[in-house]
A and B are shown apart, each in its own frame.
Chain A
Amino acid sequence: MASVVFAMLLYLILDVFVHGYVLGWDVASIHTTLYGNVETFEEPILIDSLLLQVHIDLFMGIFSLLILTAIWIRFCVEKQVLTWVLHAVLLSALLAPICLILAYLSSAFFLYAWLATYCLWHALALFIIVMIFRKFRSP
């Protein structure tokens, strides 16, 4: 069980690098990737490529979170915290890819919404991993 949680930890870290390389590492470069840049003659990303990333994000997100949440529910004793974190992590991981495609199709507001939800679900998933490892260490 510890191995699968460790694998999820590595997945979350590598997922940040994947999105960094595909979309960019800061808001300006993500903006250029999504909308292009007239001054530097950069074309926006193709909708096919972005939608494929969103499609993969949804699949990987739910599979990794199903594994993590199933383990955490088994170990966690603080039911109130657990319920809130479960809702927050699952909702933000669902909204993040939706916001990314909306950012491409409508406005830059959703770009910030994507950044917020993406960072939130990764932070909460890391929190769950830390809590599971703490439980493994305690007798």
Chain B
Amino acid sequence: MKNLALYRIPIAYLLFYVIAILVTGIWLFLLSQGLDSSEGFNALLLEIIAKPEMKSLHNFVEVAAPHMFAMGAMVFVVAHFMLFNTKVSQKRSLMLSSLLYIAMFGNIFAYLAIMFGFVLSGWIKILSILLFVGLFLILLGMVAFSL
């Protein structure tokens, strides 16, 4: 295939877009929990852990449905670039991609556990976000390394 090296350009930009999407996503989540109020960031985190904002099933589905498609597609697109790399083993890529999908489902469904009272604290949502973002950043690092 001609111009093969040029495919590196959109892939490299993709990494920055994903970081921007992750940042705006976290920002949106924090706003939904009351970030724009006068209290500080640490106080907000403690409040999310102690008493997360309650959501209706309608609110949950409204957020979960587009994210199921968008996050699934985004993880797939970024992870599939690892198929063409020669610097990281396929086994590691496969393991990371699988973990990322598990973290993604955990992240999307975490609020269900809070809504139905299985978990009273909001730590599960914060933990699932951190896990998903952390694993995604590792995957982005691996793609950047193999460019």
Residues of A within 8 A of B21 (CB): 55, 58-59, 62
The one of B1, B13, B28 that contacts A55, using a Cβ cutoff of 8 Å: B28
A residues 86-118 touching B (CB-CB < 8 Å) = 86-87, 90-91, 94, 97-98, 101
Interface range for A: 20 to 34
Residues of B within 8 A of A76 (CB): 3
Residues A79 and B3 in contact, CB atoms below 8 Å apart:
yes
Interface range for B: 20 to 34
Residues A61 and B9 in contact, CB atoms below 8 Å apart:
no
Interface of chain A, main secondary structure: helix
Within 8 Å of chain A (Cβ to Cβ): is B96? no
Residues of A within 8 A of B16 (CB): 94
The one of B9, B17, B31 that contacts A51, using a Cβ cutoff of 8 Å: B31
CB proximity of B65 to chain A, nearest CB, Å: 14
- Which residues of A are in contact with B by a Cβ distance under 8 Å? 47-48, 51-52, 54-55, 58-59, 61-63, 65-66, 69-70, 73-74, 76, 79, 82-83, 86-87, 90-91, 94, 97-98, 101
